[in-house]
Amino acid sequence: MAPVVPPPSHDHATATRALKGRDLRTLRDLSRGELLALLERARLMKADPAGFAAALTGRTLAMIFEKPSLRTRVTFDVGMYQLGGHAIYLSPSEISMGKRESTSDVAKNLERMVQGIMIRTFSQSIVDELAEAATVPVINALSDFAHPCQGLADYLTMREAKGELAGLKVAYVGDGNNVVHSLAHGAALVGAHLAVATPPGYEPSSEVISWVLGRAAQTGAAITLTHDPREAVEDADVVYTDTWTSMGQEAEADARRKVFGAYQVNDALFARARSDAIFMHCLPAHRGEEVTDSVIDSRRSVVFDQAENRLHVQKAVLASLMA
């Protein structure tokens, strides 16, 4: 028997309808209500996937990959299939944007053939240029600046594990990268408290911090920066880390291991969080570097729930933008 799933509230339904035809470049593109509506729609889709099996019938998503991926490729491809649509994978050798063909020309071609474009790339400017040129929705599946779909999956996972997002203390330990940028954008919208611990010189973008601070008073959000991981993790509800070396930074790997050595999430650091704290990581994990096996494999680790939730939140985004 199919699960009984409550229908979305009027407010959530109205908010998701307002997303039709829009882009998702960063979580800053969303209002608080729209972000919460996407999380609610993702919850409904997760509970009753069959109920949305025809949401994108006859629709096609072009998937542009300039960076390799496991979770992004599988979740967008499977997501379109489960919504009744179709996805086309386009590799770097097939596109070579800015070399073989301009980003604008790629957009102008694809908008005649598909109903949405997903891109996983390096520079945020490529996402922005593609979105400005295309008349169909463009979804940022990762750039060096932001990872909005991961951020949505993260907050869905936190809501499942912790319930209310407002006032939740989320500690992020590691590099001030695209993942923490999207966590910060999301925290500002849902009213979470984000504590970020990085080595000196590896802090999140000052632009991101300014944006969060400009909205914190409206939602009760807070963001603190420190160079002490113990301070960040103290009494946290969520402890989050990511790889110390992102794609495109491979030449810095050895130097980064030395700089980030004190920022490993191990049993001693995790013990400073609340006794019911959860551990999160967007994956792939470099075990023995940013996190120990004892933490990532513990009963309080939700990393594979996060990975699965990429599927559900992306389905909510696809159906809301492309239907």
List, by residue number, the catalytic residues: 120, 147, 150, 242, 282, 310
Residues with Cβ within 8 Å of 280's Cβ and at least 6 positions away in sequence, in order, are: 154, 157, 158, 238, 239, 240, 241, 301, 302, 303, 306
End-to-end C-alpha distance for the chain, whole angstroms:
27
What's the rounded Cα separation, in Å, for the pair 179 and 151? 7
Please report, as a single letter, which amino acid is at residue 234. E
For 143-201, the DSSP string reads -SS--HHHHHHHHHHHHHHHS--TT-EEEEES---HHHHHHHHHHHHHT-EEEEE--TT
Nearest to 173 by CA among 289, 70, 255: 289
What's the rounded Cα separation, in Å, for the pair 76 and 39? 17
Inter-CA distances, 164 with 36, 237, 274, 317, Å: 11, 11, 16, 21
Q: Are 44 and 97 in contact (CB under 8 A)?
A: no
Q: Are 44 and 9 in contact (CB under 8 A)?
A: no
